[in-house]
Chain A
Amino acid sequence: MPESGFYTPTDIDKLRMENELLAFEVQFLRGHLGLSGGQGSSTSLQRLAHLEEAERDLVLLLRRMSGSPAGRVLRLNANFKTLEERYLLTPKDPGAPKWLEYLQGAESDLVLLLRRMGRPPLGRAFRLKREFRTLEQRYL
C-alpha cells in the first residue's frame, strides 16, 4: 500500500477485470432495483435529485482532497487525475443529452472512491471525521 493510502494496481489487465467485476455488480444491483437508466427508462425526480446530490458531494470531496497538503501526492495517481479532470476541470452542462449518464457515473465514482478511502489502514483515520462517516452512510 503506498503512502497516499490509495490502491494503485500495477497490472492493467487485473485492473480491467476488477473494474469489470465491480461494474457488473453495480449494473446488476441497478437492474434489480429498477434503476437501469438506459435509453427509454424513466428515472424519477427523486432519483435525479439523489444523483445530483451525489455529484455535488463528489465534487466537494475532490476539491477538499486536491486542496489538501496531500493533493500533490494524490495527483501522481492516474485515477485521481482522471477524477479531477472529469469533475473539477471539465465545464458542466446540465442540459446535455448525456447528463443523466454523467450523474450516474459520478455516483459510481463516488462509491468507488469512498470504498477505497474506507479501506485499512487509512480508513480508520478517515472515519474519525464526521463528514466522511456521513458520506459512507449515505452512499455505502
Chain B
Amino acid sequence: MHASTGTHASTGTHTPVLYAGRFVEDFRRSALQEGCLLLGDWDALPACLAAATTTASVIIVGDLLSFPFEALAGEACDVPLVLVLPVDRDADFLLKVFGETVFGRLGFFDRVAMPDTNVWRTLRKRYGWAESQRVAVEGDTHERVAETLEAVRSVGQRTEKAAHRAEEAVLLPRFAAAQSFNADEVPMDVLQVGVGDARWITSFDLTAIRFCGVDEDPKSVALAGRNFPEGDFEKLGPEPSIPHDSESFDLAFSAGSLGLYPDHEKRTLLSEMWRVTRPGGRLLFLEDFVSGEEAAPHVTSVNAFVELLMVATSGQAVLEHVESVQYPGEDAVRGGVLMLSRLGVPKRW
C-alpha cells in the first residue's frame, strides 16, 4: 500500500499513520512512506486528522512540536501513539516543553522512541511508564522514524487500547476510592491477581503504594518484572494460593483473570484474596460475567460469582459498588465491576 498525503491510504484495514509535520517534504522523498499514511502539518487540521485516525493502527509522531495532541478526542484516543523524541535535548527540556500535555496523556499502549537511556529513565520514573513502552532507536530523525516504524508496524493494539480505556473508565474511580480510605501518610499495599503484563501499575503512583502481582504463568511474571522492575511479582502457589501473609494488602483486585479458573479453583482464589486483604481493605473485581470469550473458558454469571464470593469470604464482606461494562464495538454488556469491603477485626495492629 502506498501513502497519500492527507487522504486515506486504505479503507477497512488499519494502517500506520506517520505524522511528519513540518518535515513532510523530506519524508515524501524517502521510502519511509511506503505502507503508511503520511501527514504534514497542514493535514493536522481537525477534520483531516479525524479522518486519518479512523483507519489508523498507530500514529507515529515525528514532529512533536506541531502535532495537535489536544485534537485527539473520542475514538481517536484509542489509536496507540508513538512519539519520536528529539535526540539532542535533555530530560529537563523535554519535561518543560512537552510535560503533562504530551507525556501525561501516554498510557500503557503508547510508545516513546528515544536513544538516550538516562533521559528515558528520568521520564519513565516521572510518568510511571513500562519498560516495554520504549523503542530504542539511534541516528538522525529519518533513521529513528524508520526504526520506529519498523518496530511498531506489526503492533495492532488499537482494539486492546480501546478495551483498556473502557476498563480504565470504571476501574480508576475504584482505585481512587480505595486510596481515599487509606491514610495519606501510610503507603498503600496493592495486590493484583493475574497480573499479566502489569499494565494496571500505570494507574498507581508508585511513590505512594507498594504494588505486588501474582500470576499462574511464569512467563507473565517474567514479563511483568521486565516491564516494571520496581514491582514485586510472584508465581501463584499450588491449588492456587497467594504467596503472601494474611492481611497484607489494602486492595486486592483482579482484572479479567478469574474466568480462567473453574469454580472450585475460583472459590479458593477468592478465599485467598480475602485472606490477604486487611479488614477494612477492599476487594475489587473487573470480570466477564457473560460467557463467550474463548480466552476465558470458565466465566460465571454474576449471581453465581457473588455466591462463590459469599462462600469464600464466609459473608464477611460488604458489597460497595456494582457497575456493568460495555466494551467498544460490542452490542452486549459482558463485563462488570464489583467492589467489596472486608469486614472483621485486624489480627495485627
Contact = CB atoms under 8 A, between A and B. Distances in A.
Interface of A: 1, 7, 9, 11, 13-14, 16-18, 20-22, 24-25, 28-29, 119
A18 B303 contact: no
A25 B292 contact: no
30 contacts: A7-B331, A9-B332, A11-B292, A13-B291, A14-B291, A14-B292, A17-B290, A17-B291, A17-B299, A17-B301, A17-B302, A18-B290, A18-B333, A18-B334, A20-B289, A20-B301, A20-B302, A21-B289, A21-B290, A21-B302, A21-B324, A21-B334, A22-B324, A24-B302, A24-B322, A24-B336, A25-B323, A25-B336, A29-B322, A119-B331
B319 A21 contact: no
Nearest to B292: A14
A114 to B, nearest CB: 14
The 9 closest A-B pairs by CB, nearest first: A28-B322, A7-B331, A17-B290, A17-B301, A24-B302, A21-B302, A21-B289, A25-B324, A18-B290
Given A28-B319, A29-B322, A21 B333 contact: yes
A17 B324 contact: no
A28 B338 CA distance: 10
Contacts of B332: 7, 9, 14, 18
Contacts of A25: 322-324, 336
Nearest to A27: B322
Contact of A1 (B291, B306, B322, B331): B331
A111 B302 CA distance: 20
Contacts of A29: 322
A24 B324 CA distance: 9
Nearest to A13: B291
A29 B332 CA distance: 20
A13 B292 CA distance: 10
Given A14-B291, A28-B319, A21 B331 contact: no
Contacts of A13: 291
A22 B332 CA distance: 11
Contacts of B336: 21, 24-25
A57 to B, nearest CB: 23
A20 B300 CA distance: 11
Contacts of B306: 24
Interface in B316-349: 319, 322-324, 331-334, 336
A14 to B, nearest CB: 6
A14 B289 CA distance: 9
A75 B228 CA distance: 55
Contacts of B302: 17, 20-21, 24
A20 B319 contact: no
A7 to B, nearest CB: 4
A22 B334 CA distance: 9
A80 to B, nearest CB: 16
Nearest to B303: A20
B180 to A, nearest CB: 18
Contacts of A7: 331-332
Contacts of A22: 324, 333
